[in-house]
Structures are given as structure tokens and as C-alpha cells.
């Protein structure tokens, strides 16, 4: 007989950030500084004793809703064969069908889906990348966490130096200030500091209109950026397409979308040169792999957003050379760390995702619930 899911434990964990984080959404008054990140962890155990762990997350709002939705739909797959991951994804969707197939719904499902993939890879004794089918054992990486808008420029430069010395290849900084001249000055300072050969990206977090984005993009051409990220509203597929057609600098977007269907609009409109899906936001690894196939067929580059512990494995399985985003925020949650060397992040040889929760993560848990067969 096949194995069966014996239990799923959900934990709602609040990770405090050492410094309140501000990007363009804060400076334009749309959001408040971020002081914590909310995580939904799903720990799965089977009748035969196999285990898997997955997670989703939310910034500023939505974490409580993710946890509540996960607890409502989880009983639908207790007793099911954990190998049938796509089937289980569909069961979870239909268990909560009245709230749709995006947003909180898919983000709650993602934690379970990722946990099932972790379990499957562990049972096979393989890193997740190898289970899927890796194209490479390391992925070029860039740092984001050192270049937020709340950080003074002299500190941004120090952070860039530290990142490069620690084996990270590229530097991304935030832009989108109400006064674009400040953005231009910061980009110029970073480019001068790191030199012309180091990959440099900028991220506007959706804060420009079409005219402002075009004006900024033209001013950036001389800096030979790897990409301009989220220059427009995430759902403005036509605007991104027009911008991509008018600029030499590649356009990257997609992190804020919460379904494969939303990403398909980007692909159909040729809205981006680099697509940036986030597995915990679009429903997990099952959905990410479907999207990655379509993105590859469309000739797009891949640069998954955040959650490097998951996305390193998925990027390693993409046919053409991708990027993975280095964030140090999540380090307190996991006993293991990822290695960067010579500009690349190394795929760990541990089975599955290769992560286990720290005791500190357990202490930051504000709610947990277990569902048994």
C-alpha cells in the first residue's frame, strides 16, 4: 500500500526585523515601515514516518488570514498519498473555492505544497533541485537587503562592499523616491563605488506612472543595469510591455502576483524580460514549475523573488541561467545557512530543501494547530 499523510501541523511565526524597513511604498505614503515578517509553516508527517516542511509568508498584513485559511482546508488531504502533489493542490483549492485561486488562498496552500515537495525529495534522499532535475549546482545571486531606502547612502555602499566580499555577485538597490533626483544620485554613487563590471539592479516597487518610469529608464541606460524592477503597478501588463519595448535596459516584474494566471498576462503581453515569480505567493512549487515551463518557452530570464531557501532549488532547475535573491532576514529561522562563493549561491547537498527550524523560530510562534488522521 502507498504511504498516507498522518498529520499536518501549522505554525504562525512572527519574525521581528532588527530595523524598520522602508521602500518606495513607504516614502509615497502607501504603507508603513515594515517591522516584522509573518510566516506560515506547515510540517507534514506520513504514516510511514516521512516528514516535510514548507512555508509561506506575508509582509505587513495577511499572515493571520493565511494561517486561518490553512487550518480550514487542511483536513481535505489528511489520509491522502503525499506523492500525489498536484492532485492534493487541487483538493485544497476546491476546499476553499469560495475565496478564489489567488492571494491568501494560494499562499496558504503554498506552505503545504512546498512541504510535500520537501517530503518527496527527502524520501528520495535528494536535494529538491536534483529531484526536479537540476541544470546547475549553483546560481548567480544578488543582494537586496542592504539597499533599502531607509538606509543612508554611505551605509548602502558599505553594505555593497560586504556583500561582494562575502561571495555575492550583484547589488540591487531600491528607488522610487518622491524626488527622482535623489534616486539618480544614489544609483550614480553605487555604480561609482562598485565599478562598471559588477551587476547592478534597481527596484521601484511599483511607485511610478508610465511617463516617470520611461524618464527614469532613459536616465539609467548609461549605467548598464541588469534590470529595472517593478517600475509600474504589478498588474499593468500593457504599461510594462510598452516600457520594455522603449528601453534597452531589461524590465523585471512579477513578485506581487499571486497566481499563474496573472503571470500569464505578463508573458502574453511581453511585459518583462525577466520574470520574478514567488513560489509561496503563487501557490507553491507545483504552480511555480508550471509557470517556469511557460516562461522558458517564451524565452524569459528567471529571477525568483525572496525566500532563497526555496528558490535556490527552483532556479537551479531552470534551463537558462537565472538569478536568485539573497536576503539575510530569514537567517534566525533556520539551523542551516546557504553558502555564497565566487558570485554564486551553492545548492546544498542535504535532502529536500535542507532546512530545519531553530528553537528561536519556535519561540516566535504565536499560534499552532495539528490535524491528525
172 is in an annotated binding site: yes
Task: Give the span between the Cα atoms of 80 and 57, in whole angstroms.
Answer: 25
Residues 6 or more apart whose Cβ sits within 8 Å of residue 229: 172, 201, 202, 203, 204, 205, 251, 252, 253, 276
91 is in an annotated binding site: no
Task: Give the span between the Cα atoms of 154 and 156, in whole angstroms.
Answer: 5
- Residues in the chain, overall count: 373
224 is in an annotated binding site: no
25 is in an annotated binding site: yes
In 3D space, the residue among 316, 304, 368 whose CA is nearest the CA of residue 126 turns out to be 316
120 is in an annotated binding site: no
Helices (H), the chain: 24-27, 63-73, 85-95, 104-124, 128-132, 153-165, 180-194, 210-220, 237-246, 260-269, 279-282, 285-297, 308-316, 359-363
**Dmax of the chain from CA atoms?**
66
Handedness of CA 336, 340, 345, 350 (dihedral sign): negative
User: For this structure, is 235 an active site residue?
Assistant: no
Q: Which of 12, 240, 305, 313 is catalytic?
A: 305
205 is in an annotated binding site: yes
290 is in an annotated binding site: no
Question: Nearest 5°: phi and psi at 80?
Answer: -85, 160
User: For this structure, is 193 an active site residue?
Assistant: no
23 is in an annotated binding site: yes
Q: Which of 120, 130, 174, 313 is catalytic?
A: 174
- Terminal C-alpha separation, the chain: 16
336 is in an annotated binding site: no
Catalytic positions: 174, 305
Please state the residue numbers annotated as binding site for substrate. 23-25, 59-60, 172, 205, 325
Please state the residue numbers annotated as binding site for Mg(2+). 203, 229, 255
Amino acid at each position: 500500500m502507498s504511504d498516507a499523510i498522518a498529520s499536518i501541523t501549522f505554525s504562525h511565526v512572527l519574525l521581528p526585523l532588527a530595523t524598520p524597513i522602508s521602500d518606495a511604498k513607504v516614502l509615497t505614503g502607501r504603507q508603513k515601515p515594515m517591522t516584522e515578517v509573518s510566516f506560515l509553516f506547515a510540517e507534514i508527517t506520513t504514516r510511514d514516518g516521512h516528514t516535510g516542511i514548507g512555508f509561506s509568508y506575508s509582509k505587513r498584513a495577511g499572515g493571520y488570514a493565511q494561517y486561518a485559511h490553512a487550518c480550514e482546508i487542511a483536513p481535505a488531504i489528511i489520509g491522502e498519498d503525499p506523492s500525489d502533489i498536484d492532485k492534493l493542490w487541487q483538493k485544497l483549492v476546491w476546499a476553499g473555492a469560495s475565496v478564489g485561486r489567488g492571494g491568501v488562498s494560494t499562499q496558504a496552500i503554498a506552505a503545504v505544497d512546498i512541504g510535500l515537495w520537501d517530503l518527496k525529495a527527502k524520501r528520495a534522499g535528494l536535494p529538491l533541485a536534483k529531484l526536479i532535475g537540476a541544470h546547475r549546482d549553483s546560481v548567480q545571486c544578488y543582494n537586496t537587503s542592504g539597499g533599502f531606502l531607509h538606509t543612508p547612502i554611505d551605509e548602502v555602499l558599505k553594505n555593497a562592499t560586504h556583500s561582494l566580499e562575502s561571495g555575492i555577485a550583484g547589488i540591487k538597490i531600491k528607488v522610487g523616491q518622491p524626488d527622482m533626483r535623489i534616486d539618480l544620485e544614489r544609483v550614480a554613487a553605487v555604480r561609482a563605488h562598485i565599478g562598471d563590471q559588477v551587476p547592478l539592479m534597481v527596484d521601484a516597487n511599483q511607485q511610478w506612472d508610465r511617463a516617470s518610469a520611461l524618464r527614469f529608464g532613459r536616465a539609467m541606460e548609461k549605467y548598464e543595469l541588469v534590470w529595472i524592477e517593478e517600475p509600474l503597478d504589478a498588474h499593468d501588463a500593457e504599461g510594462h510591455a510598452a516600457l520594455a519595448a522603449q528601453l534597452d535596459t531589461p524590465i523585471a516584474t512579477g513578485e506581487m502576483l499571486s497566481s499563474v494566471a496573472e503571470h500569464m498576462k505578463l508573458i502574453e503581453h511581453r511585459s518583462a524580460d525577466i520574470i520574478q515569480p514567488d513560489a509561496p505567493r503563487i501557490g507553491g512549487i507545483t504552480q511555480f514549475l508550471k509557470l517556469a515551463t511557460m516562461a522558458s518557452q517564451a524565452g524569459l530570464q528567471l529571477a525568483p523573488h525572496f525566500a532563497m531557501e526555496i528558490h535556490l532549488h527552483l532556479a537551479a532547475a531552470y534551463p537558462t541561467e537565472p538569478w536568485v535573491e539573497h536576503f539575510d532576514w530569514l537567517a534566525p529561522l533556520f539551523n542551516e545557512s546557504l553558502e555564497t562563493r565566487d558570485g554564486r549561491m551553492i545548492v546544498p547537498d542535504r535532502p529536500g530543501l535542507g532546512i530545519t527550524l531553530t528553537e528561536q523560530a519556535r519561540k516566535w510562534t504565536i499560534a499552532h494547530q495539528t490535524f491528525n488522521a
